[in-house]
């Protein structure tokens, strides 16, 4: 369960997916082979609870929730006090949005392993997500009493500071978290976001550090590309979108944002049209892509095609204000 909070930057024509799994999840490596290898191992050692837990993690990462539940139930039937199984079960309940069972599971894990800080950290995350910041802070304090070098506790302390707009304290705690675990990506992203908000180009170095720490986390690359396009580095942003598109060529957001960079920042209308047409080929219902295709025609001076597209949008979406404004603008 993660409390990674990505910056939201959805303008009316530039978009960023709110669903990390749509645009930015790590590409799960070789799901079938991982499951097959673990399944073969389980056949040879059917009473090994840890093997079921490992397969549950793979299934959960690939959103095979029912398979993950089945594996965790098998693990717990072998060893009801298996902490790894209980932690994965809490993550499964998180994926299902079942907060009551998350709490019950984590309390059980804490009961069975009172010296393990992981259930406590997850309890702090749950409290944070529920808006109970005082309780979240109490769990963080408890975790740090047990382990004063715990990187996730300092990360959570930083997140709590952010809720109070205390960026000085947040930055201090995120930096401490980073020092305790250099490959822990979450604090690096939050540090980058703080510097972005401060218009400080130090953000670039922390994004790059995060990408090195977690090279398969494509949401970081996407977040960085968004930062670049909005902060005066459009050509560099394009290079990162191209990198992402080599991996996921039919991703709507990557294609959309590439077109947006060509349209708004570089004025390369033909290339922008190619990108928006690609989006519409993948998702014919994308009103944003259609609008920006019309906007591209308008920028090219082709008002007939632009106006036709705007009217097409308004036939199906009569309250789409950008299209209304565009029609009025062209008609003046």
Tell me how far apart the alpha carbons of residues 314 and 130 are, in angstroms, rounded to a whole number.
39
Count of alpha carbons within 13 angstroms of residue 219, beta-carbon side: 20
Domains 24-107 and 250-332 equal at CATH topology level: yes
CATH fold for the domain made of 24-107: 1.25.40
Residue 19, pLDDT > 70, answer: no
Angle between helices 117-129 and 99-112 (to 10 degrees): 160
Pick the CATH number of 250-332 from 2.40.420.20, 1.25.50.20, 1.25.40.10, 3.40.605.10: 1.25.40.10
Kindly indicate the confidence band of residue 12, based on its pLDDT and cuts at 50, 70 and 90. Answer: very low
Query: What is the rounded average pLDDT for all residues in the chain?
Result: 90
What are the C-alpha distances in Å from 301 to residues 147, 214, 250, 275, 296?
Answer: 64, 44, 29, 19, 9
The pLDDT of residue 34: 87
Kindly indicate the confidence band of residue 17, based on its pLDDT and cuts at 50, 70 and 90. Answer: very low
pLDDT in tens, 229-288: 999 999 999 999 999 999 999 999 999 999 999 999 999 999 999 999 999 999 999 999
The pLDDT of residue 32: 55
For the chain, give every domain's residue range: 24-107, 250-332
pTM: 0.81
């Amino acid at each position: 369960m993660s409390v990674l909070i990505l910056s939201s930057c959805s303008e009316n024509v530039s978009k960023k997916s709110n669903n990390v799994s749509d645009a930015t999840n790590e590409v799960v490596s070789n799901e079938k082979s991982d499951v097959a290898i673990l399944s073969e191992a389980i056949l040879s050692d059917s009473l090994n609870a840890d093997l079921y837990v490992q397969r549950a993690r793979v299934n959960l990462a690939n959103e095979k929730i029912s398979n993950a539940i089945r594996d965790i139930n098998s693990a717990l039937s072998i060893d009801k006090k298996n902490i790894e199984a209980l932690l994965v079960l809490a993550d499964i309940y998180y994926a299902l949005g079942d907060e009551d069972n998350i709490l019950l599971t984590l309390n059980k894990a804490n009961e069975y392993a009172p010296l393990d800080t992981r259930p406590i950290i997850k309890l702090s995350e749950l409290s944070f997500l529920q808006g109970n910041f005082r309780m979240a802070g109490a769990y963080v304090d408890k975790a740090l009493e047990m382990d004063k070098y715990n990187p996730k506790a300092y990360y959570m302390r930083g997140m709590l500071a952010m809720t109070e707009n205390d960026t000085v304290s947040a930055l201090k705690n995120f930096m401490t978290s980073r020092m305790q675990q250099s490959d822990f990506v979450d604090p690096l992203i939050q540090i980058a976001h703080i510097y972005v908000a401060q218009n400080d180009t130090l953000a670039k170095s922390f994004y790059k550090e995060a990408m090195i720490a977690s090279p398969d986390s494509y949401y970081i690359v996407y977040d960085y590309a968004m930062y670049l396009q909005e902060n005066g580095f459009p050509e560099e942003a394009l290079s990162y979108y191209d990198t992402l598109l080599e991996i996921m060529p039919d991703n709507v957001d990557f294609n959309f944002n590439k077109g947006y960079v060509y349209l708004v920042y570089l004025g390369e209308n033909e290339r922008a049209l190619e990108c928006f047409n690609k989006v519409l080929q993948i998702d014919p219902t994308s009103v944003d892509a259609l609008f920006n295709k019309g906007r591209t025609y308008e920028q090219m001076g082709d008002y007939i095609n632009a106006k036709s597209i705007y009217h097409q949008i308004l036939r199906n979406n009569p309250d789409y204000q950008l299209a209304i404004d565009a029609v009025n603008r062209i008609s003046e």
